[in-house]
Amino acid sequence: MSAAPAIVPCRYKTGRTLGQGTYAVVKEAVHIETGKRYAVKVINKKLMEGKEHMIRNEIAVLRRISIGHANILTLVDYFETLNNLYLVTELAEGGELFDRICRKGNYYEHDAAHLVWTICSAVAYLHEQGIVHREIFQKSGHGKPVDMWALGVITYFLLCGYTPFDRQNSMDEMQAILHAEYQFGPIEYWQGVSETAKSFITGLLTVDPSLRMTAEQALKHPWLAQAALRQQEAVQQQQQSQEDMDTETPHDLLPSMMSRMKARSKLRNAIGAVKAMNSMRKRHEDVVEAPHPEDVSNVEVLHQGDVDMV
């Protein structure tokens, strides 16, 4: 006979919603005693009936990778109430990437390389741990190479402001993706982008997964291998006066990126459409209420910090 679940006071108060998915809502939360802010993923237990193993696996993965990489959020806590499961992580407060780029006032290729290096180093760490992200391609069976394809799409977007397989309709877009049909054009959108950067993208947007660069290979590619050095040089150039600068100023990608900010909205709309279709399909199969987080500061916690809580 199993022991009764432990009842303990909750240590958090939830606030504004940060994001929402099919099974969960991400909200800002405040630790009642310390006042420190966190992000908490609120998972509706009713929606996850029969899928409890997915939650156990997510907790196990987060515990395994937490504190192991500077650019991966740390799992701080997890607990269960009568209706929901809660995963508490660090709160990412940096804001939208492109908003930060615009506030910075300029954006060079070495800035993009530094961003891609940061992402790739985190992906490499996950792959070393035997973990594949695969969020965009959940039903794919290609494993680690799927993450590298996604990194290629992200790199392309960061350098020109639009996605490589943008087409007039979804059917043409799908065919372009399946055959890796893309180009570095129009030429004015790729002005100032090096051939090294283009070769990096080509090494990732390769149809055959066995020929696609791995995360470790990508980090050793010349474009990323020099990313830290380029970033250091960029900082030094910003510190120099215009009169003292005797080297050629790198091409600023920001003006052309700003002119194509509609691509950013289009990408968001596309992601939203995919989420909407998935949500509609789920509701068609089993119509249930959306996740509804309680104010956990006023409820009793059944389990806390127990990986077998589900």
pLDDT in tens, 139-184: 447 589 999 999 999 999 999 988 999 888 889 999 999 999 999 9
Query: Hey, what's the torsion of the CAs at 113, 118, 121, 123, to 10 degrees?
Result: -110
The residue type at 147 = D
In the chain, where the domains are located? 108-251
Strand, helix or coil at 25? strand
Q: 108-251 has which CATH code?
A: 1.10.510.10
Average pLDDT over residues 126-133: 86
Burial 194-223 (b: 16+ CB within 10 A, else e): beebbebbebbbbeeeeebbebeebbebeb
Q: What whole-number distance in Å separates Cα of residue 142 and Cα of residue 148?
A: 11
pLDDT in tens, 37-87: 999 999 998 888 888 888 888 888 888 888 778 888 899 998 888 888 899
Positions at the binding site:
41
Q: What whole-number distance in Å separates Cα of residue 76 and Cα of residue 101?
A: 29
Q: Identify the pLDDT of residue 258.
A: 67
- Signed CA dihedral, 121, 126, 127, 128: sign only: positive
Mean pLDDT comparison of 92-106, 133-147, 209-223, 258-272, highest-scoring range? 209-223
- Please say if the pLDDT value at position 276 is more than 60: no
Q: CA-based Rg of the chain, rounded to a whole angstrom?
A: 22
Helices 144-160 & 109-128, crossing angle to 10 degrees?
170
What is the band of 288 on the pLDDT scale with cuts at 50, 70, 90? very low
Positions at the binding site for ATP:
41
pLDDT in tens, 201-256: 999 999 999 999 999 999 999 999 988 676 667 667 766 654 454 556 677 777 77
Q: What whole-number distance in Å separates Cα of residue 276 and Cα of residue 188?
A: 35
The residue type at 16 = R
Q: Which of 281, 299, 300, 259 is nearest to 22 (CA)?
A: 281
Q: What whole-number distance in Å separates Cα of residue 116 and Cα of residue 163?
A: 15
Q: Identify the pLDDT of residue 29.
A: 94
How many Cβ atoms sit within 10 Å of the Cβ of residue 51? 13
Q: Identify the pLDDT of residue 231.
A: 65
Q: What whole-number distance in Å separates Cα of residue 44 and Cα of residue 20?
A: 12
Q: Give the DSSP letter string of 158-202.
A: HHHSS-TT--SSHHHHHHHHHTT---S-SGGGGTT--HHHHHHHH
pTM score of the predicted model:
0.72
Respond yes or no on whether the N-terminal peptide bond of residue 291 is cis (omega within 30° of 0).
no
Q: Identify the pLDDT of residue 310.
A: 32
